[in-house]
Structure 1
Amino acid sequence: MAQVEDVPMSRQEFSVAYDGPTRADDHSIDVRNLAPALMAFGKLLREANTEFNGKKSTTKVLVVSDFEHKCFNINFKLVVGLYEQAKLLLGIDQVKTAKEVLECIGLLKGPLAGGGVVAAGGISFIKYLQWRKGRDVIEEKTDTSRSGTVKVTIKGDGNSVYLTPEIYNLSKNARALRATQDAFLPLGQDGFDTMRVSNEAGAIAEEFTPKEVTDIAASCAKGIEESKEVNEPEIEEIPAWLSV
């Protein structure tokens, strides 16, 4: 069995800034809002990586806090361990890098389509939640002519969208939906009303306004309700060595 240090790693840095017009030079944030948000990013990224790369792929989210003018900024580094190097080298099972995981979630924009859109299957996880606005889904149908993407239809105009199977499954994952809710928890508190995500070069990749966050939160609540999943303690598997 490969040792931990032999596992190939994919790394991607990004930052999240909570901001608002009334923040002025106040660089503080209530720990009761910050702590759940930090934990939420870790949970969301782990759930997404498991969906895209399988349970054998490990995930580590590192964070270093930073303070900037008129906002509270957090620097993250996502580290994805690709358990079987052959999959990465040969392209088997479409292994996704840390950057691609962030693009599929909707925290970074993909190179093939702007606005958080995932070209191969429609829109990203967060963009789907924003688009749905908590509305009822009337039909979900797998389209075999589009590499198994799922066509989701809701009531109203412009009422259909395509999702990759992984993003569709993530949208049904109550743990991922709860984590998404908590990631936006500081907004609406203490003058924070906007969340910006920047790439490792410092360029803004995504910005979420109060209206967009309201739509995302409504879809999270609806999805959690639909899942009917019992809120059980989260159990994380970690490797261990036993010597006798």
Structure 2
Amino acid sequence: MDADDVSKASFTIAYDGASIKDGSMDVRDLAPALLAVGQLFDAANRALNGSDAPSISVNVQATKEGSFEIDLTVVQTFLDGMKTFLTGDFVTAAINLKELVFGGGVAVGGLIFLIKRLRGHKPSRIEKISDDTVRITIDGQTIDVPLKLLRLYQDVAVRKAYEELVVIPLQKDGIDEFKVLEARQEIASVKKGDSTYFIAPEPPSTVVVEDVRRSAFSIVSLAFKEDNKWRLHDGNNQISATIEDADFMHRVDSNVIRFAKGDVLVCEVKIRQVQTGQGLKTDYTVVRVLEHRPAPRQIDLFVEEQAAPVPEPEQTQDPPLSA
């Protein structure tokens, strides 16, 4: 592979604080942070360049003492025929990707700057002022940033990786600051007090299916406290359901209805499936209890009734023949 087929960008990340002044850091804190760097660049690469983006890797080079510093290199590899990546619609190689993620160059403070500037607030206005620049209005002030930087800010995977890299280490006692350096000069930093802005927001939930149907359930367990859910079984799966039928609940609370093992409820149930950041979530709500069927209390056998005897016809005796 030619040298022209590889793009590299070097930088240093550092954690600072009283517990790591000797240049050592607990591997249980370090390992997730290093993995998060790789995940961060993978996610940024996919967000900006799509699923067919050139492969990217992050390599560790060395460590420094004083604070805990790690030198890293982002390596982006281009396949044959993809050299237009450098001047086409793709982000301009590893160095520009690094600048968008951390700062420096055209992106100024990069994603760290934008997250700290917005402080978890939703902009009041976003307008596109050129093909590659947007103007963000927040708290009555405006900032102009690259469109690609805004796309990274909105990407869930990128924000999750930043949370692993920044928030989790800074929650530890004795680790007070995260820094990014280039050529030994600091280009971005996050102090412990600002780390909460880097917690990844949950994406909005979307209702995929909402349906009301008639179903039968056996009762696994009851709940009588407000907002508690009943555990029911549909014959195949156990579910947790909210009971909305106020009249039914009143009769239960008043002991008008009693339950025993094996009882079945025939219900009008609403099933609501929502797509969230964690995947698909299903909620069950019993809108109305149509019927309470107690468990059978005796074995149902068919007993034949004995037929009444049929009376025999009377025997008549013929008179004796005369001689």
TM-score bracket for the superposition, by shorter chain length: 0.7 to 0.9
Q: 1:151 to 1:204 in 2, by over 3 A?
A: closer
What corresponds to 1:230 in structure 2? 277
TM-score, normalisation: structure 2:
0.56
Identity percentage over the alignment?
A: 26
For residue 173 of structure 1, what is the amino acid of its counterpart? D
Which segment drifts farther, 130-139 or 96-105?
130-139
Looking at structure 2, the residues matched to 33 and 136 of structure 1 have their Cα atoms a distance apart, in angstroms, of: 31
Looking at structure 1, the residues matched to 205 and 5 of structure 2 have their Cα atoms a distance apart, in angstroms, of: 35
More strand by share: 2
1:15 and 1:73 in contact (8 A); partners too: yes
Q: 2:88 aligns with which of 89, 92, 113?
A: 92
What corresponds to 1:120 in structure 2? none
1:57 and 1:80 in contact (8 A); partners too: yes
2:203 and 2:277 in contact (8 A); partners too: no
1:18 and 1:193 in contact (8 A); partners too: yes
Looking at structure 1, the residues matched to 21 and 83 of structure 2 have their Cα atoms a distance apart, in angstroms, of: 51
For residue 196 of structure 1, what is the amino acid of its counterpart? K
* Structure 2 residue 184 is matched with structure 1 residue 202: yes
- Provide Cα deviations, 1:99-150, integer angstroms capped at 9, x if missing partner: 1111111x2411x5xxx52xxxxx6222111111111333333x2x412533
Looking at structure 2, the residues matched to 202 and 15 of structure 1 have their Cα atoms a distance apart, in angstroms, of: 8
1:37 and 1:182 in contact (8 A); partners too: yes
1:173 and 1:227 in contact (8 A); partners too: no
Q: 1:135 aligns with which of 121, 124, 138?
A: 121
Aligned residues: 206
Q: 1:24 to 1:74 in 2, by over 3 A?
A: closer
Looking at structure 1, the residues matched to 36 and 205 of structure 2 have their Cα atoms a distance apart, in angstroms, of: 19
Looking at structure 2, the residues matched to 175 and 88 of structure 1 have their Cα atoms a distance apart, in angstroms, of: 23
What corresponds to 2:32 in structure 1? 36
What corresponds to 2:5 in structure 1? 8
* Structure 2 residue 150 is matched with structure 1 residue 168: yes
Higher relative contact order (CA 8 A, sep 6+): 1
- Provide Cα deviations, 1:44-65, integer angstroms capped at 9, x if missing partner: 1112123334433110111145
Which segment drifts farther, 207-216 or 74-83?
207-216
2:103 and 2:111 in contact (8 A); partners too: no
- Aligned to 1:137, the other structure's residue is in SS state coil
TM-score, normalisation: structure 1:
0.72
More helix by share: 1
CA drift of 1:152 comes to 3.2
1:149 and 1:163 in contact (8 A); partners too: yes
1:80 and 1:98 in contact (8 A); partners too: yes
**Off by >6 Å, runs of 4+ in structure 1:** none
Matches of residues 20-169 of structure 1 in structure 2 within 5 Å? 20-21=17-18, 23-25=20-22, 27-54=23-50, 55-69=52-66, 71-83=67-79, 84-88=81-85, 91-93=87-89, 95-105=91-101, 107-110=102-105, 117=108, 124-141=110-127, 143=128, 145-154=129-138, 156-158=139-141, 160-169=142-151
1:11 and 1:98 in contact (8 A); partners too: yes
For residue 193 of structure 2, what is the amino acid of its counterpart? K
CA drift of 1:95 comes to 4.2
CA drift of 1:207 comes to 2.6
1:172 and 1:227 in contact (8 A); partners too: no
CA drift of 1:88 comes to 4.5
Q: Unpaired runs of 5+ in structure 1?
A: 118-122, 233-244
For residue 124 of structure 1, what is the amino acid of its counterpart? G
For residue 162 of structure 2, what is the amino acid of its counterpart? T
